[in-house]
């Protein structure tokens, strides 16, 4: 969520994904799904195999699926946490800004940064912070980092394994869950371990402190974390709806390269012939078939006006090479707005995020559809992970003309707000059906909760994700930032549905969709989805009943 009320922080609802996670190994082990596993022991062993082969994304997915099958299993829960920590370490050490801005700090600067971050967390986090837990999670992160390939290669490449193993044992025996009385004691504990690591294995004090800083944030909720300069810029780009690059979303598939999940309209990528479903296999003559998403993204980054040569493999296996020039790319939050049933005047709007321009985009889309004869609207928020609080309030205000839209409550007074509707500019008589699914979260759930409580329109699809918390972006020294949960949000009737989500009025079972190639992209007609067909039928039934 975003609000200008805080001078030092931007309120945001964080996007769900950590980014496209990925491992480096072949995906063979990942084929062994939970449906093929008959007991928890087999699930644990499969997870260990994925971890041993450093397939962190597949390990995370496997453990998450296993917990649905074997809820409460402590070994599976720790396997999931362990894999997430390793993924975070891998991601940091593939991040150029982490290398340039943080690992280059001297020990005193690193300690000051740690103090700054912990101080902000203790002041602003939605719950009271247990300092012992914060430090303990830092110890755990360092312990796992000492067995992480990327961490060791960067920091300890010439240190014998036995020495590293002995130091890990010291961490385990002397510092695991060691009580910490205060923030000052926390500083002393981190300094003690950092100096001991330098003497024992030659690890820089800064590298140790970074693990305590990033690892400590693992003691918070899933949506709070410390952001490197590049991660912070990425988040601001999502908020603004604009960034410098090629205009693609990609996901690594080991052995094949970077699969293009989305190509943004009017971007350098689209204008240069990239299509959804293509694979990036080379970047400036560097083979990227076995790189992680973050490693490939590092190659693709660059200044506006700079060029990059990319090798692309299409769905038929043909490889072509093109030059692309990076520039500012605007990401629309409404990529589709069209009449899907001219005879009955049913319009369709797909909204993929909530950003600064969303309300203006919605106004333009509604006006255009009304000129084309729209009498009823299908508003599709399926797969929408959220965005700005103010954007959610502004778009809701187009459909609800009075009463509370959403409220927020936090530990500090400045996080408590109530947002109400206004009658001006509201399309109160427009029939609306709202589509949501298991990936609709945060700001999407603000909309769904308000629609449900105000009985504004039928909700179609599947139960939403269940993320009902507010994050603030707090600036930190060194061009870094802290994304921190500072409040929870509540529906107009006072419900907060974290880890529960909003249930639809009409349930549509999930159907796996297959990409179908055609010249210029992937066939994706919204009128063909079962959710849209169901929403259309519900709207028409309601319209006909009113006649």
DSSP string across 22-56:
--SS-TTGGGS-GGG--SHHHHHHHHHHHHHTT-H
Q: Residue ranges of the alpha helices (H) in 217-353?
A: 229-240, 268-271, 293-300
273 by Cβ neighbours in 10 Å (0-12 / 13-18 / 19+) ranks as middle
Q: Is residue 356 annotated as part of the catalytic site, yes or no? A: no
Sign of the four-CA dihedral 138, 140, 145, 148: negative
- List Cβ<8 Å contacts ≥24 apart for 534-538: 534/460, 534/506, 534/508, 535/378, 535/433, 535/435, 535/458, 535/460, 535/506, 536/340, 536/341, 536/346, 536/378, 536/433, 538/433, 538/458, 538/460, 538/506
Angle at alpha carbon of residue 257, lines to 253 and 259, rounded to 5°: 70
Structure tokens at 107: 């020990």
Q: Is residue 74 annotated as part of the catalytic site, yes or no? A: no
Segment holding 371, helix H or strand E: helix 358-371
Single out the residue of 425, 422, 473, 419 nearest to residue 446, CA to CA. 419
The whole-angstrom separation of Cα 246 and Cα 334 is 19
189, 453, 472, 491: the active-site residue: 453
Task: Give 261-287 as a 3 state SS string.
Answer: EEECCCCHHHHCCCCCCCEEEEECCEE
442, 469, 472, 529: the active-site residue: 442
The whole-angstrom separation of Cα 390 and Cα 11 is 9
Residues 6+ apart with CB under 8 A from 306: 325, 326
**What distance lies between CA 117 and its chain's CA centroid?**
21
341, 440, 467, 529: the active-site residue: 467
- Nearest-10 Cα torsion for 77, 79, 84, 85: 110
Active site residues: 442, 453, 467
């Amino acid at each position: 969520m975003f609000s200008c009320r805080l001078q030092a922080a931007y309120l945001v609802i964080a996007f769900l994904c950590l980014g496209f996670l990925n491992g480096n190994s072949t995906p063979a082990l990942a084929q062994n799904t939970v449906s093929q596993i008959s007991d928890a022991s087999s699930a644990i062993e499969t997870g260990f195999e994925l971890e041993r082969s450093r397939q962190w994304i597949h390990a995370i997915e496997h453990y998450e699926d296993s917990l649905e099958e074997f809820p409460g299993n402590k070994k599976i829960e720790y396997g999931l946490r362990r894999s997430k920590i390793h993924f975070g370490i891998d991601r940091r050490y593939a991040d150029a800004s982490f290398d340039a801005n943080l690992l280059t700090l001297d020990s005193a600067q690193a300690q000051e940064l740690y103090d700054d971050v912990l101080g902000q967390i203790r002041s602003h986090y939605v719950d009271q912070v247990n300092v012992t837990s914060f430090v303990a999670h830092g110890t755990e992160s360092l312990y796992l980092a000492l067995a992480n390939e990327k961490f060791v290669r960067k920091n300890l490449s010439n240190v014998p394994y036995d020495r590293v193993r002995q130091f890990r044992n010291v961490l385990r025996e002397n510092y695991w869950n060691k009580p910490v009385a205060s923030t000052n004691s926390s500083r002393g504990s981190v300094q003690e371990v950092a100096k001991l690591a330098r003497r024992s294995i030659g690890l820089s004090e800064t590298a140790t402190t970074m693990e305590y800083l990033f690892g400590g944030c693992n003691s918070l909720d899933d949506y709070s974390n410390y952001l490197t300069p590049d991660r912070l810029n990425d988040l601001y780009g999502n908020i603004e709806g604009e960034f410098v690059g090629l205009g693609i979303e990609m996901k690594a598939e080991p052995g094949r390269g970077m699969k293009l999940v989305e190509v943004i309209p009017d971007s350098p990528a689209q204008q240069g012939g990239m299509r959804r479903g293509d694979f990036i296999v080379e970047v400036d003559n560097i083979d990227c078939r076995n790189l992680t998403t973050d490693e490939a993204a590092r190659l693709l980054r660059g200044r506006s006006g700079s060029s990059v040569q990319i090798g692309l493999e299409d769905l038929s296996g043909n490889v072509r090479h093109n030059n692309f020039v990076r520039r500012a790319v605007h990401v629309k939050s409404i990529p589709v707005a069209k009449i899907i049933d001219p005879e009955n005047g049913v319009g369709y709007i797909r909204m993929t995020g909530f950003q600064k321009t969303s309300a203006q985009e919605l106004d333009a889309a509604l006006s255009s559809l009304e000129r084309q004869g729209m009498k009823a609207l299908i508003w599709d928020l399926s797969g929408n992970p959220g965005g700005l609080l103010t954007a959610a309030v502004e778009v809701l205000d187009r459909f609800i003309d009075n009463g509370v839209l959403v409220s927020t409550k936090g530990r500090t007074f400045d996080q408590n707000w109530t947002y109400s509707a206004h009658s001006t500019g509201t399309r109160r008589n427009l029939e609306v059906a709202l589509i949501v699914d298991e990936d609709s979260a945060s700001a999407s759930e603000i909309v769904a909760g308000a629609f449900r409580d105000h009985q504004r329109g039928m909700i179609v699809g599947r139960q939403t994700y269940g993320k009902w918390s507010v994050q603030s972006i707090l600036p930190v020294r060194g061009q870094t930032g802290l994304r921190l949960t500072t409040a929870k949000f509540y529906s107009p009737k006072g419900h907060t549905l974290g880890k529960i989500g909003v249930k639809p009025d009409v349930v549509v079972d999930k159907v796996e969709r297959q990409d179908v190639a055609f010249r210029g992209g992937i066939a994706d007609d919204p009128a063909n989805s079962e959710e849209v067909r169901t929403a259309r039928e519900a709207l028409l039934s309601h319209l006909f009943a009113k006649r």
